[in-house]
Amino acid sequence: MAIDTFALGDIVQTKKPHPCGCDQWKIVRVGVDVKLQCLRCERIVVLERIVFKKKAKKIIRRAAEEA
């Protein structure tokens, strides 16, 4: 199941964890590419939108909920 809608500031869970062991990411930038920041080690990764939609498992927290 792929994620269809996502926005800047959302926290997402990926199917596979990052090498640091964390599988939760914050969306930092959205455009043609999606820029993600690991919540544990704060490493930044840039994925193409299509690749991101395949690798994302679910949205943990929406940015709109924080406001």
- The pTM (predicted TM-score) of the whole model is 0.88
For the chain, domain boundaries: 11-60
pLDDT above 70 for 7: yes
pLDDT at 60: 94
The count of C-alpha atoms lying within 13 angstroms of the C-alpha of 17, restricted to the half-sphere facing its C-beta, is: 8
pLDDT in tens, 20-65: 999 999 999 999 999 999 999 999 999 999 999 999 999 999 987 6
Q: Is 65 helix (H, G, I), strand (E, B) or coil?
A: helix
Give the end-to-end CA distance of the chain in Å, rounded to a whole number.
Answer: 27
Q: What residue ranges in 1-67 does DSSP mark as E strands? A: 11-14, 24-30, 33-38, 44-48, 56-61
